[in-house]
């Protein structure tokens, strides 16, 4: 399963791993909505994402905007593959996109 959720005293951690494309979007959306509704701090870890597509970027972008309204910055640990996809799709402002160590040509 490419999406897992861990709950701790620090809040909820949603991990996106492996190849996460449109087929995982419904599951990810469900878990992210669960996290936002929990009123606990929500973090999204993309460090293990070998591949993501634009549908997931759009979903993550929307959640990050919603979380920002709750004074949270949930996206962290962006893998090089996720950062590259974000840059190539024009999501230069994607949370964590510049933290990947990659450069834009």
In angstroms, the Cα distances linking 19 to 2, 71, 82, 84, 91 are 7, 29, 10, 14, 19
Domains, the chain, with CATH or none:
3-100 (3.30.750.24)
Integer Cα distance of 77 and 83 in angstroms: 10
- pTM for the model stands at 0.72
Quick: pLDDT tens for 47-100.
888 888 888 888 888 877 777 666 666 777 788 888 888 888 888 777 655 544
Q: Are 18 and 47 in contact (CB under 8 A)?
A: no
Quick: pLDDT tens for 35-62.
778 778 888 888 888 888 888 888 888 8
Residue 105 has pLDDT above 50, yes or no: no
């Amino acid at each position: 399963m490419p999406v897992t959720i861990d709950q701790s005293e620090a809040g909820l951690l949603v991990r996106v791993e492996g190849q996460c494309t449109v087929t995982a979007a419904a599951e990810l959306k469900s878990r992210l909505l669960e996290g936002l509704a929990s009123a606990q701090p929500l973090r999204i870890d993309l460090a293990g994402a070998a591949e993501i597509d634009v549908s997931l970027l759009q979903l993550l972008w929307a959640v990050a905007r919603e979380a920002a309204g709750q004074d949270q910055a949930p996206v962290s640990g962006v893998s090089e593959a996720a950062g590259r996809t974000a840059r190539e799709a024009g999501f230069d402002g994607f949370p964590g996109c510049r933290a990947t160590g990659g450069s834009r040509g």
